[in-house]
Structure 1
Amino acid sequence: MTFSASLRQAFAPSGKLRASINLGNPILARRHASSGEPFGVSIDLARALGDRLGVEVQLVVFDTANQSVEAVRGEQADIGFFAIDPLRGEGIAFTPPYVLIEGSYMVPEASAIQANEEVDRPGVRVTVGKGSAYDLFLSRTLQAAEIVRAPSSPAVVEVFVEQKLEVAAGVKQQLQADLARFPGHRMLPGRFMVIQQAMGLPQSRGAEAAQALAAFVQEMKASGFVAEALARHGIQGASVAPL
């Protein structure tokens, strides 16, 4: 697919494609331990889109999903990478999902909780990253359990352990990595939700730009680009969303 001059203007009115990157989800973006530079699937997609548009990509990096969403909604960034959620829809046009990510629970080893269905009970406190897709989803679905919000998704297990809470909720891969740092805990089998991860841009950029971004995402899935990026970055716990 090619982009017209009017589409280039819609996507990159400043002359650069400003991509909002959320480091709170390690499946999509992380920092290199040595250089500190961000890398990951979302960054690969941003640079591929910049190549198509023929413009330089400027990464606008945030620690939380909520900050990343607000940057695009407020047009401090031109595109972003978000979990599709109705509460985030205002002001942002989402593409179809490009990746599906599993959300899982962690509990102390000695916990009586053995299954996902046993979490939503009185006296159970569930830790989530503030403003994350898990926070939005569980805020709608949990009826009896209490939600405790950590400052960010990567801080969930630290808050969970520090405050001696009953359950931690988040990206399956992040929780599995945290098991090595915090022994004495276990993952509950299966998953409590699947997140549809998509690209998005301000709705003010127009329907044509939104359709072009959606077509770009579909092409990146169909061509194998997304699958190759997941494999190259060693990502587990995520799969390419179907066309």
Structure 2
Amino acid sequence: MNTFDIDTQALAPTGTLRAAINIGNPILAGLDPATGQARGVSVDLAQRLAGLLGLDLRLVTYDTAGKSVEGVTRDEADFGFFAIDPKRGEQIAFTTPYVLIEGSYLVRQDSPLTDNAQVDQAGRTVVVGRASAYDLFLSRDLKHASIVRAPTSPAVVSTFLEMGADVAAGVRQQLEMGALEFGGLRLLDGHFMLIRQALGISRSRDPGLAEGLTRFVEDAKASGFVAHALARHGIQGAEVAPTE
């Protein structure tokens, strides 16, 4: 048994550790334009886990969080990197969080909206990435505004502009990039949710695996590995989750 008391046969029954990587969240992962290979904080963590467990690693990439969750529940991957959410928790067992990310709203410069609390009004339309953490949260939280789902999180800003919608919702940094690309847009101050990013495995797996992966996550935070990974990839606006 290893330092984290993780049963490697139960975690990686094929003999290779298969990690689901969502390349649609730029805070966590993306494709290297030079090589086409996945890179980012979640990739670094997957590599660290495989190395500490003495396993070969295979990255299974998806372009949305929803597809990544489905990949783990369908046993296409052994674990993944997800925002903690009660709906996903029906199928996924989560570790403690390793990173906290802001979910923000984007509007046009001439929008009358100046505060997050003003968004949930009848007649307002909010665009969000389908099956993302923001979609799941806002589907529960918004009582009056309507939701339109873009096919992926990176497509939220373009969909918002094409539809003439009132608000775009998503990762603050992704929305900031959209504002720079298209112009004439601004973010509302603060955030409407704070996303807790964690590792997750299918609930059909041994329950002890989530506990072992939690020990791995806590070690990665306490040792400074997560902080160094954020710095190495130039990630701003995300912070290391407190140790638990």
| Higher mean C-alpha deviation, range 195-204 or range 58-67 | 195-204
Equivalence for 2:32:
32
Secondary structure (helix, strand or coil) at the match of 1:99 reads strand
Q: Which amino acid aligns with 2:216?
A: F
Letter in structure 1 aligned against 2:102: E
The DSSP-based 3-state class of the residue aligned with 1:98 is: strand
Letter in 2 for 1:22: N
1 CA distance for matches of 2:170 and 2:155? 10
The amino acid of 1:137's aligned partner reads F
The separation in 2 between residues aligned to 1:239 and 1:45, in whole angstroms, is: 15
Number of corresponding residues:
242
Please tell me whether the aligned partners of residues 4 and 213 of structure 2 are also in contact (alpha carbons under 8 angstroms): no
Are 1:203 and 1:210, in contact at CA under 8 Å, matched by a contact in 2? no
Shift of 1:53: 1.1
Letter in structure 1 aligned against 2:69? V
Identity percentage of aligned residues: 57
Q: How far apart in 2 are the matches of 1:16 and 1:212?
A: 18
Match of 1:157 in 2: 157
Aligned position for 1:93: 93
Please report the TM-score for the alignment, with normalisation by the length of structure 2. Answer: 0.97
Contact 1:105–1:187 (8 Å) recurs in 2: yes
Q: Does the 8 A contact of 2:20 with 2:61 survive in 1?
A: yes
Which structure 2 residues correspond to residues 174-193 of structure 1 after superposition, within 5 A? 174-193=174-193
The structural deviation recorded for 1:191 is 0.7
Q: Is the 8 A contact 2:104 2:172 kept in 1?
A: yes
Q: Quick one: distance in 2 between partners of 1:46 and 1:36?
A: 18
Amino acid at match of 1:113: L
**Cα distance in 1, alignment partners of residues 4 and 234 from structure 2:** 31
Residues 70-219 of structure 1 aligned to structure 2 (within 5 Å): 70-219=70-219
CA distance in 1 between partners of 2:188 and 2:28 (Å)? 23
Deviation beyond 2 Å, 4+ runs, structure 1: 1-4
SS in structure 2 of the partner of residue 59 of structure 1? strand
Q: CA deviation at 1:230?
A: 0.3
Separation in structure 2 between the aligned mates of residue 85 and residue 207 of structure 1, nearest angstrom = 18
Amino acid at match of 1:60: V
State the alpha-carbon separation in 2 of the partners of residues 95 and 164 from structure 1: 39
Deviation at 1:3, TM superposition (A): 5.6
TM-score using structure 1 length: 0.97
Match of 2:49 in 1: 49
AA aligned to 1:58 is: R
5+ long unaligned stretches in structure 2: none
Letter in 2 for 1:41: V
Q: Deviations over 1:5-52 (max 9, x none)?
A: x71101110010000000111000011112111100000000100001
Q: Within 1, Cα distance between the matches of 2:93 and 2:10?
A: 13
Structure 1 alignment gaps of length 5 or more:
none
